[in-house]
Amino acid sequence: MNRGKECVVVGLLGCGTIGSGVYHLLMKNHEIISKKAGREIFLKRILVKDIDEPRPFKVDASLMTTKPKEVIDDPEIDVFIELIGGLKPARSFALSILSKGKHLVTANKELLAHHGGELVSVADKNASHLMFEASVGGGIPLIRPIEGSLGGDRILRIMGIVNGTTNYILTKMSEERCTFKEALLEAKNLGYAEANPRNDLEGHDAASKLAILSSISFRAGVTSSQIYREGIDRIRPEDIDNARELGYVVKLLAIASLNDGEICARVHPTMIPLEHPLASILGNFNAIFVVGESAGELMFYGQGAGSLPTSVAIIGDLINVVKNIDRLPDSRSYWSNEAKMGSFDEVITRFYMVLRVVDRPGVLAKIADVFGRNKVSLESVVQKGEGREAQIVLITHEVKERNFQEARRGLEGLDVILDIPSVIRVESA
């Protein structure tokens, strides 16, 4: 890589799986990248934790330093690519970069989901470009299509499979009828799930991504703490079988909608009809289904993680920043305004529920009474099993979350109910 007079100088913060992929692409496709950016791109310095750590792609060690100041405070660097992840020290690095009027490309979903409003306001004040295509959906173009191509429409609803690890586990449980634990072990062996996969399994990763998508789609600052969240660890192979028998598949969905000016955002396991476009998204792939008021239904599909797919999104942002480096960036001032969130209790959805009950006359009548008193109407009821115990598998009609949870508490208090092993929300569109 040569350093021409007109070049744009780049600093890389973090050089693990993604960072080394970015380096690899910058070297391999250097000519085409610089041509598209309209200026020569010169990678000057790389901040790392450990120079000798193993990386999927070989990186020139002479560019590396373990001293943050040698990169962050280098006055020659125009554009920084932040791939450290997490909040500390990424937030202070990002604020320092943006407050100096330098430009930032980041893949850091947590940072944006927690501090998006703060970052965009510092970026706006200092005319800094801030790009984050890789923060949601890895290599899937999503942020710029929503902000740009769909910029003239009102987004009404987003429904996405935004976590590859959980989608891999649910697909494996569905295809091979294995348990959650077995599928998780396989995901770990294949390197999909991290050593401590709580972030993925409990829905934190998906909630961060949904906070970003909601903020740019509904033009208000949504943080991950405002998102209702449930993970997939309680899904049983029986639920996946029941879902299939009933014509559904179970997915961990990130869902956000705008109703009467209020945003409702939630992440939870969801049963969707087998014919829904998201039902066919298998393995570790991601897909995001977007409904625009005028554009109608759209779906974005692809690799939601991985070194090279994510690196492509980062390089795309870098090209965009370099191309527009002398222009004022578009403001995202809306992000500093706290979003008006609707109450999760008011969400209307359907529910799948499994009740383990004592099998004797009058049991169904007692259950029906609790549902009736709480205005929960049933769409289908199937009794399974024989002997002294039975399982009742039911699906409700649309009902408010509050009413359903009230009915659930009522059922838990009935002496004929032994256990409620499963409750999963059901979405149609």
Q: Which positions lie near ligand HSE, rule CB under 6 A?
A: 138, 163-165, 200, 205, 304-305
Which of 137/329 has CB closer to ligand HSE?
137
CB 286 within 8 A of CB 302: yes
Integer CA distances (angstroms), 106 to 28, 57, 83, 94, 275, in order = 21, 20, 6, 9, 36
Integer CA distances (angstroms), 145 to 132, 138, 348, in order = 12, 14, 29
How long is the chain?
Answer: 429
Which of 197/221 has CB closer to ligand HSE?
197
Which of 21/164 has CB closer to ligand HSE?
164
CB 114 within 8 A of CB 223: yes
Unique residue bearing structure tokens 């998201």: 278
Radius of gyration of the chain (CA): 24
Would you call 339 helix, strand, or coil by DSSP? coil
Unique residue bearing structure tokens 């870098």: 318
CB 287 within 8 A of CB 300: yes
Shortest Å, Cβ 198 to ligand HSE: 11
Which of 168/352 has CB closer to ligand HSE?
168
Which of 15/72 has CB closer to ligand HSE?
15
Residue 412, C-beta contacts closer than 8 angstroms, at least 6 positions apart: 420
Shortest Å, Cβ 205 to ligand HSE: 5
Which of 42/285 has CB closer to ligand HSE?
285
Angle between the N-to-C axes of helices 30-37 and 307-323, in degrees from 0 to 180, rounded to the nearest 10: 40
Shortest Å, Cβ 138 to ligand HSE: 6
Shortest Å, Cβ 245 to ligand HSE: 29
Shortest Å, Cβ 384 to ligand HSE: 34
Catalytic residue flag (residue 209): yes
Shortest Å, Cβ 361 to ligand HSE: 49
Q: How far apart are CA 63 and CA 24, in angstroms?
A: 14
Integer CA distances (angstroms), 271 to 97, 172, 287, 298, in order = 43, 16, 16, 20
Integer CA distances (angstroms), 284 to 101, 187, 200, 287, 349, in order = 38, 9, 12, 10, 27
Q: How far apart are CA 133 and CA 144, in angstroms?
A: 7
Amino acid at 212: I
Q: Which of these is catalytic: 102, 172, 209, 251? A: 209
- The CA-to-CA distance between both ends of the chain, in Å, stands at 50
Amino acid at 284: N
Which of 305/322 has CB closer to ligand HSE?
305
Shortest Å, Cβ 193 to ligand HSE: 7
Strand ranges inside 281-416, DSSP E: 285-292, 296-303, 348-358, 378-384, 389-396, 399-400
Which of 257/284 has CB closer to ligand HSE?
284
Residue 175, C-beta contacts closer than 8 angstroms, at least 6 positions apart: none
Shortest Å, Cβ 213 to ligand HSE: 13
Q: How far apart are CA 254 and CA 208, in angstroms?
A: 10
Which positions are catalytic?
Answer: 209
